[in-house]
Chains A and B, each alone.
Chain A
Amino acid sequence: KAGVTQTPRYLIKTRGQQVTLSCSPISGHRSVSWYQQTPGQGLQFLFEYFSETQRNKGNFPGRFSGRQFSNSRSEMNVSTLELGDSALYLCASSLVAGLNEKLFFGSGTQLSVL
């Protein structure tokens, strides 16, 4: 069974641009979560989607948004990029959304904002 697939693997953008990251969960998984990882702030929860509905949202500005499609694939979008948005963005999937679910993480998209 294929794992969680994130594309692209690396991305370079300039300040003010917008970017869209993609995540394909493990087949059969309906929950997708997104995390931002930086050396300074560590791993921070962005949002979670289940059955195309946002269930949880972290403490990030409105420039960060996401969505989930009927096939459970998810995208996250960051508009008006800032230097501080440079980070590894990790996507995780699980069968359902619950407190005890095992999350399967992708290898991430490394975003560099110049």
Chain B
Amino acid sequence: AQSVTQPDIHITVSEGASLELRCNYSYGATPYLFWYVQSPGQGLQLLLKYFSGDTLVQGIKGFEAEFKRSQSSFNLRKPSVHWSDAAEYFCAVSTGGGNKLTFGTGTQLKVEL
């Protein structure tokens, strides 16, 4: 069965610093990979997705992610973090057909001013 691991439960960065959130997946074939963000009291918003082609994917709000098949990873990056980026970030994989997503446990991002 497919699975997603987000090794970092909490991450704290200073505003203006760079950010990298880690995501590892387990799946035999090429997965469909997503990053979602959830602000307190809100639903999830899609940041970016990967399903084929260029392994570097650009998303909204200045985020990007790189798919590395050899490492089974899909890490999320941002060159300069803003205070408004404080939220919980979820990596997810779609393999079961339709819109069935398997989510990681999430990484809570705190931004220090």
Contact = CB atoms under 8 A, between A and B. Distances in A.
Contacts of A33: 98-101
Interface string A87-98: 000101010011
A30 B101 CA distance: 17
B44 interface: yes
Contacts, number: 70
Interface of A: 4, 31, 33, 35, 42-45, 48, 50, 55-56, 58, 90, 92, 94, 97-108
Interface size class of B (residues with CB under 8 A): 20 to 34
Given A99-B32, A102-B49, A31 B44 contact: no
Interface of B: 32, 36, 41-46, 49, 51, 90, 92, 94-106
Given A56-B96, A100-B32, A45 B101 contact: yes
Contacts of B102: 45
A45 to B, nearest CB: 5
Top 7 nearest A-B pairs (CB, nearest first) are A105-B43, A43-B103, A97-B98, A105-B44, A56-B100, A55-B98, A33-B99
